[in-house]
Structure 1
């Protein structure tokens, strides 16, 4: 069906847009929305035709085809853009030149190189001169396509961000490799953001390397020497750490135990569950410079090069982690290498690969290299700042629809609540203890053990699911999010229905694989629109009609069977409705969320959809979907890596990100902890909750030990008190936070902000990945070292900064040693900020935000827009919302509360504002019980007050 549809579309396209015939002297053809150019030297290896389409004055769509025509493969990320921008096309020497009101785009008529410039001719981005792109014909499951590569020049002072969420603790990706491959904890988003005020949306769905696109090499690409000095291998010792018996010694030239199929490479006598492996020797390289090592690991791993400990990590066996570390090496010089590995359980994974220094001629460039596509296809997005570039991304891929207001409150979750009684008991405990909460999450296995995919509650454990949901709603004012996987066990009615319609991937069934619970299963084909409709219908019938409020869409990479090689993961996605699994590998989470979003909006057009998904792709924000960072480990280094992971995810254009506060997978030492480990566990969770209160969505989740605050520590413990403090502060900040959410829709705003967004001219912030702005005002500085009572904080230049808790002022443009006692995380407020705080709440809609306390921080001009609407419906799309601007003038020391604009049902027409004014000479601590500087009665008309 899909092939017939493509042929019909192609025929229609050729009738409407025939292939242009270029004479010897005519190198281009102007079209309704751009120009088509055929370079003199264009061929199948570098591209025969170039199409430039003007999307807007600042957005250009470039398509380069190796054929004599342009393919009509379906696009999934980009939505239709209604615009008719003005442009001109002309010949200018060796170039065809396309001008908009903001851009000048030049194409070399000989080579096809594309240059993006401003109207003064200043370069913004250039494809690399010479061979800037390549095509190599490939076949994927009988489908003809091309491996693609596009190279861009990159000046030495350029920094690169975005590209999704990755766990390598990197902020600036310049000179590094980013692999866009959906995996648990790694999210592929093909949008790159440059500090040069442009972005690239790479319109391709296959596995893609970005940046330094060379392949990582096996360890044997270096010269290896054994412990005894023999060349060609390292010395590997396999030991039984429990029995202490004799070890097995062997020579190994490569360390590559990456997937299930690699388990057979281990010695037959090696018992992994009790094992310890050590690799020792020396390495040498034929190159001088920075070498990168990519370490994939499960269990405990330590790696030293030249005596320096580069890797010291842990990860659970079933979800390996990765680390990228660098080591400077001189050509032909030998360096000691030592690796120690404690596997985790009976199946564990480890690989060590190497990337030699970037060749000199490749240093000032980056590239996109994709496994499959019909053409090089990308969008160039320019802007005056990062916000404008991200706005351009959302122009292309869709507005970030508003999540329900209650989603901004606290969610409690665990893996897993096993019974109805247990789940209700947790919510009751929260309410009894007066711990604010809005959402309880029911993770997997609420169904009978053999009934995955039925969406039916196991009545032996959930005897009255309807009553449970009603109690949550009516008695506890709490919402319920439920786990739904795209997965079906064989034999149940939903499997048979999906199978009868041809909507399932069948390869995993044919291979006879069983999941970790011992049952055969597979996933549905989310690329098939009819399959998506049926998938939603099954959810609607069994779950939504019961009153479920939100959806946890797990394993959406898709993780049909964990730890398989990539080629097997592709086979498991076959047959695919749109084409080969290679071509569409990364887009499954987008299509899965699309079906749920469109299904619920059709079933209940005025109730906001809310989806939490473990993976994402470009455009996901239009489907009311947030993303969490997957099954990360409960370690300090994993907490730290979430900061840059969340920032780069946000810089990829998707505003709603969250993580498992406390980490998902727990070292065994915490399960039955001694006093020392219990102390560390409590501090780890305290610091993580402090951080988690200032990300777009605030949620605790994880495996045992349980993450409810009262299970972490008793009520009189500083851990409990700090976690409760930040929970309550989050709810006090709800007018601020929900206004930021409103701005994500109204103004394409980004909530979690890398410092480069607001301080791009401050060169010191380019690679800061452990602090960020939460909205326009709050500088967040998580503490991620055990026992730390202070941390270094860089205060960006151009602003003064106030300590949130004391109100004391510090000048910007300097690094300070900030106090970080156990119960507090350093937070600073930008001078010129106006921050609205609401009343203390137990849940977001407990009562209206009245009175609001406005903390006004002097020293510079500033403003804030308060946004309000009904909170749970889509009336805001009909412009039923209200805004109030607060403008502070430093010169007149005055605050202007503007005339209210707009209205909505239930709006407060008369309200009270308490104002607390803080200045450099008059520090005032954060205290909601203190007497305000002034109190204003507001009825919607403008009021100016002076301090």
Structure 2
């Protein structure tokens, strides 16, 4: 009997021992094998967990291109039941089903967040340019009514990205990040750079990538949208600050053909008194296509490069210049990279050596894209950029075609070898690497000038590289325009806060078929679209006018006193008046992981009416922007117009032959005001309750903008460029109805001293019950800081408005020297 008891005891001990060894504890989680799949769970923080799945016997050594964070030491409680291994941190529970291998995620209080679909993990053998590897996919189960956001810059017009299939290969007008976040407060980053399909339908939500040695993804629980953005930036990199001047107005064109023409544009803006901070020099300053991207001024129209840069600077403006990820065969860069086997062989722009359209392929250009994944190639790229352009004092880089352009695609093109394997394997991370190469090198050689890069493509993690991504060469149409709000908001929700678009759309040829270039900007169909796009551009991180087919400078649209000209000038001036607010928001983005363009769901998640709203957003924490996104005065459809007849033969016409339009006629645009707060009309100070749709009266000179109750809004001086005047006489507007707080940020406006704490902040607090404003003690200091100034305090009210302007009637003028001041209003 004793022997039987002993035997049973041994079996029980052996059973318990076997169960305890069904997984292996690691430094940051566990590793186990389930159903012929190795599953590893690694906690990076209490709210961020990495899942790696591979096949037994495979060696997986992957260094992420996007992720820069090292795993922290996270206290975990690991338990096992009959069919589940559970890992609990302070904020997140991860459960691994030991029968199916499916991983599920719950909040600390047990709320279900996301679950892998059982049996959906898939490895399919794939030959990648001679390397035996796998195609990989994983599906998840979402709640039926769960809204998700992200995936990058898409031109589908959608806010929530449910119920669609997206083929992710970087291209001109779509920038893909394999990341989405949910209204439930979690995010998922699929860490793969090969061509990937995202599919969401009744069967599940799936990522499927063409190449992957393993399945590798990160789940993060931030509890809300800002929290998820913060965790994505913690994982893939923080956002550095841009200089103050980058937030002014930028004028560009495809293209200015001489240095005198470029400088002349800045001179004309100064003559007209219209603010301008930046001018952009587009391509062909290097000469012909065989010298493509030579990073030197070989074009006879630019005979004195240093004088060119100096002339722009002497007008208190800044210059950025076009550079590409490819080189023509007559450039020294091409020859050096070719010798070292650091070029890729596929068709890219431009295809012909002749600067004509369509390209004449009897004269192939020979332009090739360089291997941006190779650190030595990135060194070579910067060496020539530094010597040829940065040494002249050029202020920033317009990195065009960073997808890169891939024309006449053939599957074998993906077999091109890169430093990290086939081009197929790393395709979507090309913009991350090429932009990162320029940022890292400039940071190494200079701390006096902040890196500023305007680029056409982006990927997860690129926010750490001082770049603003624009949405590509869009056609000029109302549909394209309407797509920009959800495109920018979804990009922001991937963790990338810096977005802009070509104001007016790039290809405007449909508006320019019947008139010479000098009068095309007076076409009322284009005028209405351009003005509305410009007004939207006021409330994006970069306000930049650019396009081809017609000139976009303000003086081509008319003259002062005419409705369209005045609407353009007023929009630009509005941008400059908001610079203290915008620059403070930039600091908030860099230091507190905030966002410029904020989908309404970020601030009003309880209001389900905003979950899928694609026509309004918050700009910073205080301003709700509802741009006029539909034509009110002209047909949206581009119709054939000739100078003799206008749209219809019966229409009245201007002297240029265009139909006459009264842009001062009052129209109406619908605006939804989210619930949970009261709102003030920015222009009239009229107050509205949230949770309702209202009709805003508009003319061509009106952008519907509303201010949240409790907001404290600084208004800057009237200037011609961002740093023309100090902020020693700011207007501080108080919007009653709730307590509020605003911290004004100031620094030297450029350089990286702010990273060392060389800046100051002043916090304003509004107590709505007591009607008191407390201006807190100034924290910090920097060279050139104002030690004494005046704040003009204004309580928003209807009697302080006249038309579309706030009448300067401060309730109190407060002298401030850095000590706390309490103002009773």
Determine the structure 2 residue equivalent to 1:463. 303
Q: How far apart, CA to CA, are the structure 2 residues paired with 1:706 and 1:935?
A: 44
Please give the residue correspondences for 1:366-515 in structure 2 after superposition, counting only pairs within 5 Å. 366-449=205-288, 450-473=290-313, 475-508=314-347
Distance in 1 (CA, whole Å) between partners of 2:497 and 2:612 is 20
Match of 2:542 in 1: 697
Q: Are 2:819 and 1:935 equivalent residues in the alignment?
A: no
1:25 Cα deviation after fit: 6.3
Aligned equivalent of 1:87: 76
Question: What's 1:38 paired with?
Answer: 33
How far apart are the structure 2 equivalents of 1:507 and 1:736? 46
**1:1-400 pair list within 5 angstroms:** 26-39=21-34, 42-43=35-36, 48-81=37-70, 83-128=72-117, 130-212=118-200, 358=201, 362=203, 365-400=204-239
Question: What is the aligned counterpart of 2:608 among 732, 743, 763?
Answer: 763
Q: Is there any run of 5+ residues in structure 2 with no aligned partner, and where?
A: 1-16, 634-666
Q: Aligned runs of 1:508-587 on 2, under 5 Å?
A: 508=347, 516=359, 518=363, 519-560=365-406, 562=407, 564-565=408-409, 567=411, 569-571=413-415, 574-587=416-429
One of 420, 435, 440 as aligned partner of 1:593: 435
Deviation at 1:584, TM superposition (A): 0.6
> Does 1:742 find its partner at 2:737?
no
Q: How does 1:888-903 map to 2 (within 5 A)?
A: 888-903=766-781
Alpha-carbon distance in structure 2 between the residues aligned to 1:801 and 1:597: 41
Matched, 1:801 2:666: no
1:453 deviation in Å?
2.7
Q: Secondary structure at the match of 2:485?
A: helix
Alignment partners' CA distance in 2, 1:512 and 1:171: 36
Aligned partners of 2:759 and 2:70: how far apart in 1? 25
Return the TM-score normalized by structure 1: 0.78
User: 1:767–1:623: structure 2 CA closer, same or farther, 3 Å change rule?
Assistant: same
Kindly tell me: are residues 922 and 384 of structure 1, through their superposed partners in 2, closer, same or farther at Cα, counting changes over 3 Å?
farther
> Once the two structures are superposed, what CA deviation does each residue of 1:609-654 show, in whole Å capped at 9, x if it has no partner?
1111100111111110110010001111111111111111111110
Query: In the alignment, is the contact (CA less than 8 A) between 1:808 and 1:923 conserved in 2?
Result: no
Asked if the contact 2:521/2:557 (under 8 Å) is kept, the reply is no
> Higher mean Cα deviation, 781-790 or 870-879?
781-790
* Pairing 1:807-826 to 2, within 5 Å after superposition: 807-826=685-704
Partner of 2:741: 863
User: Using the alignment, how far apart are the partners of 1:69 and 1:882 within structure 2?
Assistant: 53
Which of 833, 852, 857 matches 2:711? 833
Structure 2 CA distance for partners of 1:113 and 1:668, relative to 1, 3 Å = closer
Give the 3-state SS of the residue equivalent to 2:523 in structure 1: helix
Shift of 1:862: 1.6
Change (3 A) 1:28 1:681: same
Between the aligned partners of 2:687 and 2:618, the Cα distance in structure 1 is 17
- Residue equivalent to 2:454: 612
- Structure 2: distance between partners of 1:551 and 1:29: 49
What is the CA deviation profile of residues 784-803 of structure 1, one whole-angstrom value per residue up to 9, with x for unaligned ones? 22225222211000111111
Report whether the alignment pairs 1:645 with 2:633. Answer: no
Deviation string 1:68-119 (CA, Å, 9 cap, x unpaired) is: 3551133100003363222222213321111111111111112111111122
* Other-structure match for 2:9: none
Between the aligned partners of 1:749 and 1:513, the Cα distance in structure 2 is 45
Aligned to 2:652: none
CA distance in 2 between counterparts of 1:631 and 1:399 reads 28
Alpha-carbon distance in 1 for matches of 2:103, 2:169 = 28
Do 1:804 and 1:925's aligned partners in 2 also have CA atoms closer than 8 Å? no
**Equivalenced residues, count:** 764
Task: Determine the C-alpha separation between the residues in 2 that align with 1:633 and 1:386.
Answer: 31
Distance in 2 of aligned mates of 1:82 and 1:922: 55
The reply on whether 1:709 has 2:550 as its aligned counterpart is: no
Per the TM alignment, residue 514 of structure 1 is displaced from its structure 2 partner at its CA by 6.2
Q: Spell out, residue by residue over 1:883-934, the C-alpha distance to the aligned partner (whole angstroms, 9 max, x if none).
A: 1111112221221211121222221122211111125898888746522011
CA deviation vs aligned residue, 1:492-526 (integer Å, no higher than 9, x gap): 322111111221113559x9976847422101100
Q: Secondary structure at the match of 1:372?
A: coil
Tell me whether 381-390 or 885-894 shows the greater mean CA deviation.
885-894
Kept in 1, the 8 Å contact 2:491–2:499? The answer is yes
Distance 2:802 2:824 in 1: 17
1:402–1:741: 8 Å Cα contact kept in structure 2? Answer: yes
Decide whether the 8 Å contact of 1:485 with 1:555 is kept in 2.
yes
Aligned position for 2:637: none
Deviation at 1:127, TM superposition (A): 1.2
Selected match of 1:670 from 512, 515, 535: 512
Cα RMSD (Å): 2.1
Give, in angstroms, the shift of residue 454 of structure 1: 1.6
More deviation, 788-797/528-537? 788-797
For residues 158-198 of structure 1, give each alpha carbon's deviation from its aligned partner in whole angstroms, at most 9, with x where no partner exists: 10101100111111111222332200010011120110100
Match of 1:882 in 2: 760
Structure 1 stretches of at least 4 aligned residues deviating more than 3 Å after TM superposition: 22-25, 67-70, 506-509, 511-518, 671-677, 919-929
Does the 8 A contact of 1:162 with 1:652 survive in 2?
yes
- CA drift of 1:668 comes to 3.5
Q: Distance in 1 between matches of 2:337 and 2:799?
A: 69
Bigger Cα displacement from structure 2, 97-106 vs 709-718: 709-718
1-structure distance, mates of 2:281, 2:687: 45
CA distance in 2, matches of 1:915, 1:182: 49
Cα contact 2:199–2:206 (8 A) shared by 1: yes
Alpha-carbon distance in structure 2 between the residues aligned to 1:25 and 1:423: 72
State the SS of the aligned residue for 1:77.
coil
CA pair 863-494 structure 1, distance change in 2 beyond 3 A: same
Verify the 8 A CA contact 1:167 1:186 in the aligned structure 2.
yes
1:552 Cα deviation from its structure 2 partner: 0.5
User: Separation in 2 of the partners of 1:179 and 1:903?
Assistant: 49
Is the Cα contact below 8 Å between 1:800 and 1:812 reproduced in 2? yes
1:408-452 superposed Cα distances (whole Å, 9 cap, x missing partner): 111110000000110111010011111111110000111111311
Give the C-alpha shift of residue 832 in structure 1: 0.9
1:686-712 deviation digits (Å, cap 9, x = unpaired): 111111111111000000211111112
Q: Residues 920 and 837 from structure 1, CA distance in 2 versus in 1: closer, same or farther, beyond 3 angstroms?
A: closer
Whether 1:635 aligns to 2:458 is no
For residues 646-692 of structure 1, give each alpha carbon's deviation from its aligned partner in whole angstroms, at most 9, with x where no partner exists: 11111111011011001100134424449998111111111111111
- 1:512–1:380 distance in 2 versus 1, CA, 3 Å: closer
Alpha-carbon distance in structure 2 between the residues aligned to 1:514 and 1:210? 38
Instruction: Tell me whether 1:602 sits opposite 2:444 in the alignment.
Output: yes
Q: How many angstroms apart in 2 are the aligned matches of 1:740 and 1:482?
A: 26
